[in-house]
Amino acid sequence: MIEEQPAKTKTVREMLPRLNRSLYIPCLQRDYCWSQNQIKMLWDSLLRGLPLGSLLVWNDERDEPRREPAYSFIQHYVDSRSFSFEDHIQRYSQRFGFDELPESYSLVLDGQQRLTSFYISLTGSFTTRKHGGWVSNRGAWNQRELYFDLLSGNQSSEHDRDLVYGFDFRKTGGLSEAGDRYWFPVNRLVDDSEGLSEDSFLGKDVLLREGFSGVSKGMSDDEQTLVKENIERLWWGVNQREAILYEQTLTDEKSARELFIRRNKGGKVLSGVDILLALLTGYWQKVDHEGGPTDAKKQIEQFTKTLSEDTELSQLGFSFGKNFLLRTLLLFSGERPAFRKNGRYDGDDLREAEAVFHDEQFEQAIRDAFKLSSSLGFHNGALSSKNVISPIIQYLYLKDVSTTPSGRQAVHYWLATTVLNGVFGNIGSERVLKTARAHIKESNGDSFPAIEILNDLRGSGAVVELDRDVLDELLDEVDYRSGSRRNVLLTHFYEGRRAGHRKYEVDHIFPRGKLGDEAFLRERNVAPERIDWFKENRDHIANLQLLGPRENQSKSDRDLINWLERIDDGKVESYSNREQYFEQHQVPKDKRLHEYQNYPDFVEHRMEHMKERIGKELPLL
């Protein structure tokens, strides 16, 4: 039930003292994200009398104390998470403990960015890093305050095309060396030495004296008149202009969430991940080491950072993002493993996700699952999505068993079948994950229930088995452009080399460009009617090999015959002779097959080698 109250108009002076006292930011809101230019445009609009948009506030008039999470408006902002110096300069809003909040308070559903911008401008600062500056060097960070050019305001002036009034974030003010700008600090409007209140805002006469204290004697009468007009306009914009349309609503949390999402669709659209992070923060109950409430968003970001910076996992070829972690938590909690832009999640399930997240076994299961997957030949480049690994994590977490040989075989079959057949993409991640969750919970054995899950998905729009016939079809279908599927097949073809890993690059044995060059092929005695086949099959998987970066650079677009001659001459340090190259890459030794006109026969012969070796390495039924 949403009860709208009549809208009112408010001045900046009326609104600012309420920030962090009776007016706060809800967990739903995104982080402050405005740039300095956006703040300048806001002030230009304020002084020109342009509309600023409305402010929607969620009130609650229940008798009992309010318990919705509340965050602070940032006063001293830094636009990078890498800043690690003064504590009062912040990138993110801080969550208040309930004992720090009044019994009754309001939350901003729409308008947070504008209010924070006024707060920073009038009482705080905006810090940025110098271009190219070292993160660890405090001198590389510029802390600036907002200044108003008291000589601006002329419609024909050469300020930014869209702005009439000149604003800038600066370290110092005063008259510019050229004498065409007079910078006045906007925070002179306020004296908050004894706390911010409406009485903290200076009177117009006091502000005029402040403004004229730095005026040089050489300033013309017209310029002094402009300075006076601008000071008065600045004072009017903050103290008298009722620029903020103030709307209030009385409603419950569910309706407030839906109202928030609906109102914010017109601005910077919130993703399903943004909404879920906000809700987790609202529902999680664990306190931190200082006794304050848990900030789920920060903890999840820190967790993914820890995993991404883990040396072992990184060397194995994995990186991590919060989307994967959040979807895995949804899978564990019993919720639908999908991000919902309407924010309709079950609160009990979100609290269950908290219990899982704070269980040490959860992190261990993630590490074990990725190490196991790596040992089976799978890494970032060989995965269609990390969602493929989420059921393995759940299995290791719930069953708490070591992986037996049969268990490894089942996991291997799951990874290979789902990636090579595009099971997640063709059926949909949500359905696959829900089906996997049900079978994992019912499983009583010591092996991952891959066959059971895949059989349950049969008839859903994807091939759900992996046998010799499926492999033959894959080798005919997969080529250089096939991404993770290409990488899985090549990794299982090679011993000790991983396609898609940064240590190895995928190279064309017969140069791709030359196989597509009609004139070149004609010169090599390729029949005209065969040229289209050459072009269509130049990316064939049988024409691909894995080389180290330096080796690939040396190979470049050399013909196979020329490359073999360089190996014989000792110019390729990776091989002592061509026999070693043939063995490493399973390239046919027949010299006749190294000539362009016989490329189709080369493909056919190498395909036989690939079918045999990959068939032995993959866990085929």
**Mean pLDDT, 10 residues at a time, the chain of 621 residues:** 67 94 84 92 94 83 68 92 85 83 86 94 94 87 94 63 87 72 91 85 90 77 90 94 81 65 59 77 60 67 86 85 88 78 74 87 92 90 89 87 76 93 90 91 84 90 89 92 91 84 88 92 91 93 91 88 88 86 91 93 93 90 73
289's tokens: 């080491």
Q: Are residues 191 and 219 in the same domain?
A: yes
Residues 397 and 341 in one domain: no
Question: Are 374 and 226 members of one domain?
Answer: no
Q: How many domains, in total, are found in the chain?
A: 4
State the pLDDT at residue 394: 92
529: burial class by Cβ within 10 Å (0-12, 13-18, 19+)?
exposed
> Looking at the structure, do residues 448 and 531 belong to the same domain, yes or no?
no
Do 396 and 511 form a contact (C-beta atoms < 8 A)?
no
Strand partners, 184: 148
Domain-located, residue 8: yes
pTM above threshold 0.75: no
The length of the chain in residues reads 621
- What is the pLDDT, as a whole number, of residue 341? 66
Specify if 174 maps to a domain: yes
- Judgement on whether residues 10 and 118 belong to the same structural domain of the protein: yes
Q: Return phi, psi of residue 474, to 5°.
A: -65, -40
Rg of the chain taking only CA atoms, in angstroms: 32
Establish if 475 belongs to a structural domain.
no
Sequence-ordered strand ranges (E) for 389-512: 505-508
Tell how strand 182-185 and strand 244-251 pair up.
unpaired
Q: How far apart are CA 267 and CA 247, in angstroms?
A: 17
- Locate all alpha helices (DSSP H) within 240-344, ordered by sequence: 253-264, 272-283, 296-308, 311-315, 322-333
91 and 172 together in one domain: yes
Count of beta carbons in the 10 Å neighbourhood of residue 206: 14
**Residue at 256 is within a domain:** no
Distance of alpha carbon 606 from the chain centroid? 41
- Same domain for 209 and 301, yes or no, is no
Query: 264: which DSSP letter?
Result: H
In a domain, 264, yes or no: no
One domain for residues 214 and 278: no
In a domain, 154, yes or no: yes
Same domain, 24 and 136: yes
For 497, left (φ over 0), alpha (ψ -120 to 50), or beta?
Answer: beta
Q: Give the type of residue at 578.
A: R
Q: Do the domain assignments include residue 72?
A: yes
Tokens of 99: 């004992």
Q: Which of 358, 383, 400 is the last residue of a domain?
A: 358
Single out the residue in 358, 382, 404 at which a domain terminates: 358
What CA–CA distance (Å, rounded) separates 340 from 503? 38
CA distance 416 to 491: 11
Given 217, 251, 285, the domain boundary residue is: 251
**Are both 332 and 372 inside the same structural domain?**
no
Instruction: Name residue, tokens 């362009």.
Output: 596
Interacting residues of 188 by C-beta distance below 8 A, sequence separation 6+? 202, 207, 210, 211
C-alpha span between 445 and 440 (Å, rounded): 10
Say if residues 393 and 328 touch (Cβ distance below 8 Å): yes
Task: State which H helix or E strand residue 2 sits in.
Answer: strand 2-10
In this structure, the answer to whether residues 291 and 168 fall within a common structural domain is no
Are the C-beta atoms of residues 502 and 491 closer than 8 Å to each other? no
Do residues 367 and 340 share a domain? no
Any idea which residue has 């033959």 for tokens?
472
- Is residue 258 in a domain? no
Give the model's pLDDT for residue 155: 54
Domain range for 390: 360-466
Distance from CA of residue 506 to its chain's centroid?
A: 28
